C-alpha cells in the first residue's frame, strides 16, 4: 500500500496509510492476483475510510457508465456537425439569451393586450405578426437547443476518449508487467537448466575418470597375472629335464 491523501476528510484520515488508486481499480474490476487476503484487507480498510469509499464509488460509477455506453447512439443532427468545443458549462440551457426572452414576454403581453383592445384589422395584423414572431422564436430556440446538445455531446465524447486513453494505458501497463514477469521466469528457468547441465557434466567427467582408473588397474592386474603365468611356465620347463635324467 502507498500513502495517498484522500480528496476530502478530517485530519485523522491524513494520518492513515491508504491504498493507491491503482489498487482500488483492481479491487473494483476484480483483477487481483491474490484475491483472498488482499481483498479482505481492502474491505476492512474501506469500511472505515470515507475518502476511499468516495474513490470506490467514483470508480464503480465510471464502470457502470462504460457498461451502458452505446457509441452508435444517435444524439441529433447537430452532433455530427463539426463544432468548436465550448468552455466548461454545467447548464447548457444558459446559452439562451435571457434578455431576449424577457423582451419576447413583454412583446407577447403587448400583443395580447392589443388583441383585446384593437379592432378587427389591427387584430388580424397583430395575429400575423405574432405568428411570424412565434415561428422565428421557435426556430432560434430549436437552434440554441441543438447547439447546446451538440456541445454537450462533444464534451461527453472528449471525456470518454480521455477515459479510454487512461484505461488503455492501464491495460498496457498490465501487459508490460506480465511480459516482464514472464521474461524473468524464463531467465530463471534458463539459469536453472544451465546449472543442472554443468553439474551433470561434472558428474560425467568424474565417472569417466573413475572408469579410466579402473581400466588402468585392470590392465595392471592382467599384466601381473600374465607375468606370473610366464614365470610358472619357465619354471616348469626347467624342471622337466632333471626329472628325465633321474629316470
pLDDT at 141: 76
Which of 114-118, 119-123, 238-242 ranks highest by mean pLDDT? 238-242
Q: What pLDDT is attached to residue 6? A: 43
The pLDDT of residue 94 is above 80: no
Task: Average the pLDDT over 63-86 and give the result.
Answer: 51
Mean pLDDT, residues 138-145: 77
Of the pLDDT bands very low, low, confident and very high (cuts 50, 70, 90), residue 32 is: low
The mean of the pLDDT values for the chain is 70
Q: Which of 117-126, 157-166, 199-208, 213-222 has the lowest mean pLDDT?
A: 117-126
Q: Tabulate helix, strand, coil % of the chain (nearest 5).
A: 80, 0, 20
Residues 145 and 79: beta-carbon distance below 8 Å: no
Q: How far separated are the first and last CA of the chain, in Å rounded?
A: 113
Cell of 226: 600374465
In the chain, where the domains are located: 1-68, 79-217
Residues whose CB is less than 8 angstroms from the CB of residue 83 and which lie 6 or more positions away in sequence, other chains included: 147, 150, 151, 154
Amino acid at each position: 500500500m502507498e500513502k495517498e491523501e484522500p480528496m476530502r476528510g478530517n485530519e485523522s484520515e491524513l494520518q492513515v496509510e491508504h491504498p493507491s488508486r491503482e489498487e482500488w481499480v483492481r479491487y473494483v474490476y476484480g483483477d487481483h492476483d491474490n484475491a483472498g487476503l488482499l481483498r479482505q484487507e481492502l474491505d476492512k480498510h474501506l469500511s472505515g475510510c470515507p475518502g476511499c469509499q468516495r474513490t470506490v464509488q467514483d470508480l464503480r460509477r465510471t464502470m457502470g457508465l462504460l457498461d451502458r455506453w452505446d457509441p452508435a447512439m444517435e444524439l441529433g443532427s447537430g452532433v455530427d456537425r463539426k463544432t468548436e468545443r465550448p468552455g466548461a458549462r454545467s447548464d447548457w440551457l444558459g446559452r439562451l439569451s435571457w434578455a431576449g426572452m424577457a423582451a419576447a414576454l413583454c412583446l407577447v403581453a403587448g400583443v395580447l393586450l392589443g388583441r383585446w383592445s384593437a379592432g378587427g384589422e389591427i387584430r388580424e395584423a397583430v395575429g400575423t405578426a405574432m405568428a411570424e414572431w412565434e415561428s422565428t422564436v421557435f426556430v432560434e430556440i430549436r437552434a440554441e437547443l441543438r447547439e447546446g446538445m451538440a456541445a454537450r455531446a462533444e464534451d461527453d465524447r472528449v471525456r470518454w476518449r480521455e477515459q479510454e486513453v487512461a484505461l488503455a494505458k492501464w491495460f498496457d501497463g498490465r501487459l508490460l508487467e506480465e511480459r516482464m514477469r514472464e521474461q524473468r521466469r524464463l531467465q530463471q528457468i534458463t539459469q536453472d537448466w544451465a546449472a543442472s547441465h554443468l553439474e551433470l557434466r561434472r558428474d560425467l567427467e568424474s565417472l569417466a575418470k573413475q572408469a579410466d582408473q579402473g581400466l588402468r588397474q585392470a590392465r595392471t592386474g592382467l599384466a601381473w597375472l600374465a607375468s606370473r603365468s610366464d614365470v610358472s611356465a619357465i619354471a616348469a620347463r626347467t624342471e622337466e629335464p632333471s626329472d628325465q635324467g633321474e629316470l
